[in-house]
Amino acid sequence: MTTPASLEDIEVQLLLEAIYRYYGYDFRNYAPSSLKRRVRHFLHSEGLPTVSALQAKILHDRTCLDRLLLGLTVNTTSMFRDPSFYVAFREQVVPLLKTYPFIRIWHAGCSTGQEVYSMAILLQEEGIYHRCRVYATDTNEQVLQTARTGIFTLDKMQEYTQLYLKAGGKQSFSEYYTADYKNAIFRSSLKEHLVFAQHNLVTDGS
């Protein structure tokens, strides 16, 4: 005998179906326990009494959906995250890329852009950035806005410097940005061949 679904479970399922059918974002196969925990947290932050009330608000207010997406998606990122990847990329992939007249690279799910700027730095150091086009996409417009600025908190730069060195960096990492009291502003030359765009991997083409 199957256990009947709770009212909250039904509401969450209807919410996810509504988001998918109206906006094209598909969270229907996410882990239920984690999803419900994030939805409950979002309900509290929005001051809404039920998941059904959230569904109604989302269907009539796109900005509410954007806020929910920030809560549901994982936006963990870092400059030169997983340095071994960048070392392998320099040693094994760059020699092949140097044989091509033009190179296109796609960062899907770029979040706030730290790994995109990391790639731009690597390509500059390897002398091939001038013939590259790097597409950086994410479902969430809010994180893309941060990525487009190329401005990140200064308190992370010491950590990013260590990761840059482990990733085979060839210069002083501080040469790539200027600092104010609380932010690091990356060089505009790193943006020259970056294209940031909103993109849904579930429903949009390549």
Query: Would you say the pTM of this structure is higher than 0.75?
Result: no
pLDDT for the residue 113 = 92
Type of residue at 142: Q
pLDDT of residue 88: 96
For 13, phi then psi, to 5°, come to -60, -40
- Tell me, what's the pLDDT at 76? 67
At residue 3, the pLDDT reads 54
Report the length, in residues, of the chain.
Answer: 206
Written as one string, the DSSP assignment of 82-105 is SHHHHHHIIIIIHHHHTT-SSEEE
The whole-number pLDDT of residue 38 equals 87
Q: Please give the biggest Cα pair distance in the chain.
A: 66
Task: Tell me which residue of 127, 119, 22, 112 sits closest to 64, measured CA to CA.
Answer: 22
* Domains delineated in the chain: 7-72 (no CATH), 83-198 (3.40.50.150)
* pLDDT string in tens for the chain (206-residue length): 445 678 888 898 999 899 888 888 788 887 888 888 888 988 888 899 999 999 999 999 988 888 888 777 666 688 998 999 999 999 999 999 999 999 999 998 888 899 999 999 999 999 999 999 999 998 888 889 999 999 999 999 999 999 999 999 999 999 999 998 899 999 999 999 999 998 877 667 77
**Distance between CA atoms of residues 157 and 185, nearest Å:** 11
Predicted pLDDT at 1:
45
CB-based contacts of 1: which residues, under 8 Å, 6+ apart?
none
Question: What is the rounded CA–CA span in Å between residue 115 and residue 136?
Answer: 10
| Residue 80 pLDDT | 94
